[in-house]
Chain A
């Protein structure tokens, strides 16, 4: 089950560059929210602030309040605890090269000390089915290395890996941008299936993708969030002129 995310006055810096300015929004639980905007506008930085991955860069810092399910993730929890509750899928698939498919999928559990074999087996099957990859790999789970799959399969495996930990929120940073159209549509299908069970935040360059999968959309520009509303409204009747310019292709 997903939880809602409340963001208040979020500011973020990389060194001296002010990458996010005064972001305020509410991401509803069990819905898919898309974040669109031109390159470099801060959408990836924003998403990385939601699971405190932003901090892994030594020159990065953030201020403000982010409440996930009512918990202030910066003051009431440690980064490691938060990241265990939030799944993340990156732009390029990043399977662990020394592990088999099986080990890759349950890495979030095994590396945190989980040992129950039966539940691990069940989790692998559940996650790979959710990621629509089960049929393709079920016979080679322990024989094939995670890195030996095709790009689209690797990304779906990374999604399975993120889902295996039963997260409350699933963050996806342009998950299909490095993939071919067939894989892309498979991933969009599964986002559609999953959004009723998890809170999904998806960063995308592709406006049609946002329109297809997300109920709500936020438009970012130059580190600020210009507009946040239902997808239907953003794409048919945006309130802000800049949003309109972006979606009609005048820039970006």
Chain B
């Protein structure tokens, strides 16, 4: 260095500071460790569920999911009724929710006057914020009486010929659970669909309009056709949510491990059986069977969510994904 004239105190101080290399690597390592905690959480859940279900896995193997019996007293366990209940309620919920969610998404992105857009979308987000137990509470005291006294008889009168509405109607059952489930998964499907539709560039819309299309045709051809994959992804995310929804469903599904054709009949889902019977599960096999159900739920929702996220990502190209 050139012969230093009197160094200013500032310069002296800064020259004396270290390279900061150790602090930088430690910091980066700490941040990395915290980031990897997410892997750790997933692996931990997987590992602990497998470990605690080995009794049931050993006793029943994969046939566990095709057997219908659920008798804790004699130690006979089979998850088929719950799979049936879960699938039925989820699919019914999707049937009701998807058209409505699409309708709301179309309304908010293409048809809604600008000043109304923010308040209405805010209201749909409020729907997403309502906790499951509050939905359940409302369903028990409002929806169930409606189903029992009004909606049920109406359905029997109009659609009774289909055979889906036979048997006693106490208000609780598969249909009621499906309805509350539909209300709960609506916000996520709708808001994701909105994201996807807004991601379609305006040039697409303008191109179709320039050809003389009506507004609906513009939406159908210019927007929906381009976002098909993403919308399927959004629907799958709704499915994933429906599969795992616990509290509201438990409160109105009747909690009876039956497989019946009637939508009025009580049912049981994978999540509800765990919620209802876990604390009273005496005996290691009982506990293990419930854990195995939890494991199945875990794996199925992971797969459904992973595929769904990939589809949504394909359309929004890794733009910040909506945290749900």
How does the 8 Å CB contact mask read for A93-124 relative to B, with 1 for contact and 0 for none? 00000000000000011001110100100010
When the two chains form their complex, are residues A70 and B14 in contact, meaning their CB atoms are under 8 A apart? no
Contact of B14 among A1, A3, A85 (CB under 8 A): A85
CA distance A78 to B23 in the complex (A): 13
CB distance from B13 to the nearest CB of A (A): 6
Which stretch, B4-12, B47-55, B196-204, B238-246, touches the partner chain A? B4-12
Contact of A3 among B2, B9, B17 (CB under 8 A): B2
When the two chains form their complex, are residues A166 and B11 in contact, meaning their CB atoms are under 8 A apart? yes
- Closest B-chain residue to A79, C-beta based? B19
Do A71 and B1 form a contact, CB below 8 Å, given A84-B17, A85-B14?
yes
Contact of A78 among B8, B10, B13, B21 (CB under 8 A): B21
CB distance from A66 to the nearest CB of B (A): 15
CA distance A112 to B1 in the complex (A): 23
- Closest B-chain residue to A4, C-beta based? B2
CA distance A108 to B17 in the complex (A): 12
Count of chain A to chain B residue pairs whose CB atoms are closer than 8 Å in the complex: 49
CA distance A108 to B14 in the complex (A): 9
How does the 8 Å CB contact mask read for A57-84 relative to B, with 1 for contact and 0 for none? 0000000000001110000011011001
When the two chains form their complex, are residues B10 and A69 in contact, meaning their CB atoms are under 8 A apart? no
We find that the number of chain B residues with CB closer than 8 angstroms to chain A is 15
The majority secondary structure among interface residues of chain A is: loop
- Asked whether A165 is an interface residue with its Cβ less than 8 Å from the other chain, the reply is yes
CA distance A84 to B5 in the complex (A): 18
When the two chains form their complex, are residues A81 and B1 in contact, meaning their CB atoms are under 8 A apart? no
When the two chains form their complex, are residues B2 and A1 in contact, meaning their CB atoms are under 8 A apart? yes
When the two chains form their complex, are residues A84 and B2 in contact, meaning their CB atoms are under 8 A apart? no
CB distance from B22 to the nearest CB of A (A): 11
When the two chains form their complex, are residues A70 and B5 in contact, meaning their CB atoms are under 8 A apart? no
| Max chain B Cβ within 10 angstroms of own Cβ: one of A71, A77, A114, A166 | A166
CA distance A114 to B15 in the complex (A): 12
When the two chains form their complex, are residues A81 and B19 in contact, meaning their CB atoms are under 8 A apart? yes
When the two chains form their complex, are residues A114 and B1 in contact, meaning their CB atoms are under 8 A apart? no
B1-51 interface with A by 8 A CB criterion: 1-2, 4-5, 8-11, 13-15, 17, 19-21
CA distance A1 to B19 in the complex (A): 22
Do A80 and B1 form a contact, CB below 8 Å, given A123-B10, A166-B10?
no
- Asked whether A164 is an interface residue with its Cβ less than 8 Å from the other chain, the reply is yes
Q: Which residues of A contact B2 (CB under 8 A)?
A: 1, 3-4, 29, 69-70
Do A119 and B9 form a contact, CB below 8 Å, given A1-B2, A3-B1, A84-B14?
yes
When the two chains form their complex, are residues A114 and B13 in contact, meaning their CB atoms are under 8 A apart? yes
CB distance from A115 to the nearest CB of B (A): 10
| Max chain B Cβ within 10 angstroms of own Cβ: one of A3, A70, A71, A80 | A80
Contact of A114 among B10, B20, B21 (CB under 8 A): B10
Some 29 contacts from A to B, beta carbons below 8 A apart, are A1-B4, A1-B5, A70-B1, A70-B2, A77-B19, A78-B21, A80-B19, A80-B20, A81-B17, A81-B19, A84-B14, A84-B15, A85-B14, A109-B13, A112-B13, A112-B14, A112-B17, A113-B17, A114-B13, A114-B14, A116-B9, A119-B9, A119-B10, A123-B10, A164-B10, A165-B11, A165-B14, A166-B11, A166-B14
The 5 lowest CB-CB distance pairs between A and B, nearest first, are A78-B19, A166-B11, A69-B1, A166-B10, A84-B14
